[in-house]
């Protein structure tokens, strides 16, 4: 089974424009708010943070892959 949060954390490394911690890299509970902000116990980042969008894109891709695998095994 894929650990989604670990996989997404690897996909959202710090960049020159966005150094430091991002909620997806945190080992605490993460929350995606309706307005697109992502947060953990330490901070919230705006939906415009490219690492947030990258994490969402990767999570959708992983979900699609998992659904395709489940469909094939039926």
Per-residue pLDDT, averaged over 48-53, amounts to 80
Instruction: Give 4-60 as a DSSP string.
Output: HHHHHHHTS---SSS-S--GGG-SS--EE-TTS-EE-SS-EE-TTSHHHHHHHHHHH
Per-residue pLDDT, averaged over 27-55, amounts to 85
- What pLDDT shows up at residue 34? 92
Per-residue pLDDT, averaged over 37-53, amounts to 84
Does residue 31 sit in helix, strand or coil? strand
Instruction: Tell me how many domains the chain contains.
Output: 1
Per-residue pLDDT, averaged over 30-43, amounts to 88
CA nearest neighbour of 25 among 57, 52, 65: 52
pLDDT of 3-20, one tens digit each?
A: 666 666 665 555 555 556
Q: Which DSSP helix (H) or strand (E) runs through 44?
A: strand 44-45
Token pair belonging to 32: 């995606």
The band of 35, judged by pLDDT with boundaries at 50, 70 and 90, is: very high
Domain of residue 14, residue span? 4-72
């Amino acid at each position: 089974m894929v650990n989604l949060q670990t996989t997404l954390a690897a996909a959202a490394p710090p960049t020159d424009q966005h150094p430091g911690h991002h909620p997806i890299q945190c080992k605490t509970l993460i929350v995606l708010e309706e307005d697109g902000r992502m947060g953990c116990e330490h901070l919230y980042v705006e939906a415009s943070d490219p690492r947030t969008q990258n994490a969402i894109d990767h999570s959708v891709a992983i979900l699609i892959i998992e659904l395709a695998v489940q469909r094939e095994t039926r």
